[in-house]
Amino acid sequence: MNGTFIRLWPQTASHYASQVDTLVATFTGIMLLFVLPAVVCLIVFTFRYRQGNAVERQQRSQDNHLLEITWIVLPFLASMVLFALSARLFFEAHTPPADALEIQVTGKQWMWKFQHPEGQRELNVLHVPAGRPVLLNMISEDAIHSFYLPALRLKQDVLPGRYTQLWFQADKVGSYQAFCAEFCGTDHSTMLATLEVQTPTEHVRWLASAGSESSMAAQGSVLFRQLGCSGCHSPSAAVRAPRLEGLYGRPVPLADGNITIADDGYLRDSILLPQKQVAAGYAPIMPTFSNLIDEEGVQRLIAYIKSLANTDPTDD
């Protein structure tokens, strides 16, 4: 199934994609097993029992427990096979490996923007290495979009105000088409991107040539100073604000008594909607930065805060 016979079947660029194809084939096969005999009987009986045909039309009462049990148990077992196959794929698709290469994606009317951890940025083209898990952390600047990679059999909605994730491991080097799969306005159909799967060496060379002097975290640290965040969130600050060292991934007690985890979503909301979840013990005085930075800027700030995850707030 490599898509060479017409283009009825999309290209297959990952192991996951071929597993999805197997599931579809198994599903279709099992359905045919039930549908075909029914259709054949329907056609045969249409002719056999047509009006005027001299056949016996007397109804015989049947009482066959074995038959009843068989046609309950067999379809049940078949559906359990489908359930097991699809549940396994579902969990695989929703469990990104911890060592995945994380790339930030921003959907915007009508383009796709990508940011690599080493700081490289791309528009409507995404370069990834083959044979390595890649995790896309995605958000929208405006409407709901959907990032769709047919060659990987993956699709995920990209929402405003909330991060969604998609992970894959492309095994075959090549260029693959990505689409926006959610109607998002006038130019929805032109909201395309290309996934360039490279060999690891090619990818390293590409990263070096793609022009970035500093990592996302370093860019975030510059932004942190430019926006004046350091004025409050630093040990020497006059204003008492939560320290950001050692914060990422840890539990945060909130003023309303709840506890949340300092993940990407919490940090984003704290920057853009600071009154939503106020950290316990602090006055709700942080202003919103929603009119000063875009989602890409927020992603860089989060990368910076993430880089402080293993530092100690007490040593300065």
User: Does residue 139 bind ligand CUA (CB under 6 A)?
Assistant: no
Count of residues in contact with ligand CUA, rule CB under 6 A? 9
Asked if 183 interacts with ligand CUA (CB under 6 A), we say yes
301's enclosing H/E stretch is helix 295-307
Q: Is 295 in the site for ligand CUA (CB under 6 A)?
A: no
- Look up residue 100 and give its two tokens: 């995945």
**Residues 171-191: b if buried by 16+ CB within 10 A, e if exposed:** bbeeebebbbbbebeeebeeb
Residue from the set 184, 229, 244, 279 that interacts with ligand CUA by CB under 6 A: 184
Task: For the CB of residue 65, give the shortest distance to ligand CUA in the complex, in Å.
Answer: 55
Q: Please state whether the peptide bond connecting residue 110 to the residue before it is cis, i.e. omega within 30 degrees of 0.
A: yes
By CB under 6 A, is residue 105 in contact with ligand CUA? no
Q: Which of 116, 145, 300, 306 binds ligand CUA (CB under 6 A)?
A: 145
Query: Quick check: 182 binds ligand CUA (CB under 6 A)?
Result: yes
Q: What is the distance, to the nearest Å, from the Cα of residue 82 to the centroid of all Cα atoms in its chain?
A: 23
Choices 29-37, 94-102, 164-172, 180-188 (CB under 6 A): range interacting with ligand CUA: 180-188
Only one of the segments 58-66, 93-101, 179-187, 271-279 lies at the binding site for ligand CUA (rule: CB under 6 A); that segment is 179-187
Q: Which is nearer to ligand CUA, 145 or 300 (CB)?
A: 145
In a 3-state reduction of DSSP, which class is residue 97? coil
Q: Is there a contact between 174 and 127 (Cβ–Cβ < 8 Å)?
A: no
The one-letter amino acid code at 129 reads: P
Among positions 17, 103, 128, 191, the unique one binding ligand CUA when judged by CB under 6 A: 191
Contact letters (x/-) for ligand CUA, 193-222, by CB under 6 A? ------------------------------
Alpha helices in 49-164 (DSSP H): 65-93
Residue (139 or 180) nearer to ligand CUA, CB: 180
Residue 252 belongs to what H/E stretch?
A: strand 251-253
**Residue 180 interacting with ligand CUA (CB under 6 A):** yes
DSSP 254: B
**Residue number, 85 or 159, with CB nearest to ligand CUA:** 159
Q: The tokens of 190 are what? A: 């032109």
The secondary structure element, H or E, covering residue 298 is helix 295-307
In this complex, which beta carbon is closest to ligand CUA, that of residue 159 or of residue 278?
A: 159
Question: Do 101 and 138 touch, CB atoms closer than 8 A?
Answer: no
Binding stretches for ligand CUA (CB under 6 A): 107, 110, 145, 180, 182-184, 188, 191
